[in-house]
Structure 1
Amino acid sequence: MTPPPAPNWPEEPLPAAARPDWRETLRTASDLALLGIVVALASLPVVTAGAAVATGSAALHHWIETGNWPGVRPVLRDFRRAVLPGILPTVLAGVAGVVLAVNLLALTRGVVPGGAVLVLVTAALAVAAGGFAGLTVVRLGQRGGQGWRDALRAAAQTGRDRPVILLGTAGTVALATLLCVLVLPPLTPILVGYTLFGLHATTRRLAGAP
């Protein structure tokens, strides 16, 4: 009786998946911190905030896709192109943020009747608005930092089709806001970079992207 053939085991074990060492992790953390600082500084004139966020999101998307950051000249060129289109979104976002903040302050101090129920409703609206804004920033970065209207439409469609992604970006923005306001106000510029990364990472993970 012929014995069964021996299994064809590989002579050498398969290589383990490469893991980033501490130097690569530190370099990534430093890059994200620097990104946040640059975006925050570019937003100081206020009217340039939309362009700064759009350009930073586009640069981060480029890094995620290629592993390399774009050069200084392309970034400056994209920033200049994004200044004028970003003014209106900046104004609208600022007005919405002020209105929600004033309403929350008035409700929590009892100036406006409504009690805890309206406080919770207003807070939920603020979180949802932050999540939608964060998702819009991600879609904008995926378009090279250009096309606010297309990014808004894409974010709205994603919110309808995949509400879990909207919940994820809302949680990311809410956590970043709490850290900035309650825990680490001086580190807000650094947290901007990590928040952008968290928005992109959350969106990609929940969408099933590699």
Structure 2
Amino acid sequence: MTAERPRRDWRDTVAEAADLALLGLVVAVAALPLLTLAPAVATAAAALHDRSVTGSWPPARTSLARFGRALPAGAAVSAVALAVAALLAADLLALATGRVPGGGPALAVTAVVVAAVLGYAGLVAVAVGRTGGRGWRSAARHTARTCARHPGAWAAAAGACGLATLLAALVTPVAVPILGGYALAALHALDARRRSAVPEPS
């Protein structure tokens, strides 16, 4: 006879929500120098992966060590990500203000492209989290193949990131970092669902 798993109640839900909010705030603080954005996200993704596998968060010492190991490669990833984000933001702004022809259709297509890029980047972060916060290049290649094989999962990740971006524009600025923890958790949940539904080839 197997023991029944303890039933979760509202206190567990509130505790998990608070943990994710704190995770988002910690990532925001760690990413303040900008070039530490990717290492901060990688460390948070690794912590979420540990949480999903073991049921508990990793010790602070483990997360600090992961952050330190992720800094060299992560700084380059941060620079590339920030450059791409700046270009896409400038494109959206130019279309929205009418400085570039195309109007509403071009703006809508660009917004879809931005959401797709965000979804891909989010899935890359999840893949990096599965390897302890390292291996950006291999994670990017693996995620590209995954997105090609499972476009539905990519679309779901893009939708989650798009919704988080929309909410970030609507909520008070102080609450924006909290959304980061929830968005990363949603991406982890989407990826875990895909992996359980369609096991990846070995």
1:154 aligns with 2:142: yes
Distance in 1 between residues matched to 2:34 and 2:3, nearest whole Å: 51
- The CA deviation at 1:17 is 6.6
Query: One-letter code of the match for 1:152?
Result: A
1:203 aligns with 2:200: no
- The CA deviation at 1:185 is 2.7
1:130 aligns with 2:118: yes
Query: TM-score normalised to the size of structure 2?
Result: 0.92
Aligned residue pairs, count: 197
Aligned partner (choices 168, 182, 185) of residue 194 of structure 1: 182
Map Cα deviations across residues 168-209 of structure 1 (whole Å, 9 max, x no partner). 110111011111112343211111111110110111123336
Query: One-letter code of the match for 1:144?
Result: G
Distance in 2 between residues matched to 1:101 and 1:109, nearest whole Å: 12
Over the matched positions of the two proteins, sequence identity in percent amounts to: 46
Distance in 2 between residues matched to 1:26 and 1:111, nearest whole Å: 46
Query: TM-score normalised to the size of structure 1?
Result: 0.88
- The CA deviation at 1:101 is 1.0
Distance in 1 between residues matched to 2:160 and 2:29, nearest whole Å: 22
Over aligned residues, Cα RMSD in angstroms?
1.8
Aligned partner (choices 67, 75, 79) of residue 67 of structure 2: 79
Ranges in structure 1 where 5+ consecutive residues have no aligned partner: 1-13
Q: How does 1:26-65 map to 2 (within 5 A)?
A: 26-65=14-53
Distance in 1 between residues matched to 2:142 and 2:60, nearest whole Å: 28
Question: In terms of Rg, which structure is larger?
Answer: 1
In structure 1, the partner of 2:82 is 94
In structure 1, the partner of 2:93 is 105
1:145 aligns with 2:133: yes
